[in-house]
Amino acid sequence: MFFFFVCGEHTFRKEVSEYQGMIFQCHHCGNMAAHVQKSNPWFTFCWIPIIPLSISGYVDVACRICNFHQPLVNRPDVKAVTSGGGGPPPQQYAPPHGGPQGQAPMRYG
């Protein structure tokens, strides 16, 4: 007589209520398809969840297109939405005024 037992891991995911219905930009593919979700991994025996592998779970920003997951702690732009802040400061520098020094402008024609 042969018995076949299957052991594995299954992750249950649900959208975080504070970010319900909000969509953010994915830092991997650039699409506006990322949402905040909480993941709870479980050990399964014969497809039945038996033991949780994490007590509090993980909160990630997950993209629905490329399936990229990034921890919420690494996304200050997403956290600023619920804290009421204006977001992180811009990190782009203004272009220098004028053209390059010592070079004549190009003439076409």
The per-residue pLDDT for range 32-64, each reduced to its tens digit, is 999 999 999 999 999 999 999 988 899 999 999
Model pLDDT, residue 35: 93
Kindly state whether residue 55 falls inside one of the protein's structural domains: yes
| Domain enclosing residue 21, as ranges | 7-75
User: Residue 78: which residues within 8 A CB-CB, separation 6 or more?
Assistant: 19, 24, 36, 61, 72
Kindly state whether residue 62 falls inside one of the protein's structural domains: yes
Q: Which two tokens stand for residue 99?
A: 């053209």
Instruction: Report the pLDDT averaged over residues 73-90.
Output: 75
What is the rounded distance in angstroms from the CA atom of residue 56 to the CA atom of residue 108?
Answer: 65
Kindly state whether residue 39 falls inside one of the protein's structural domains: yes
Mean pLDDT taken over the chain: 83
pTM of the model: 0.65
How many domains are there within the chain?
1
Q: Which two tokens stand for residue 106?
A: 């190009």
Instruction: Report the pLDDT averaged over residues 10-21.
Output: 91
Instruction: Report the pLDDT averaged over residues 86-96.
Output: 53
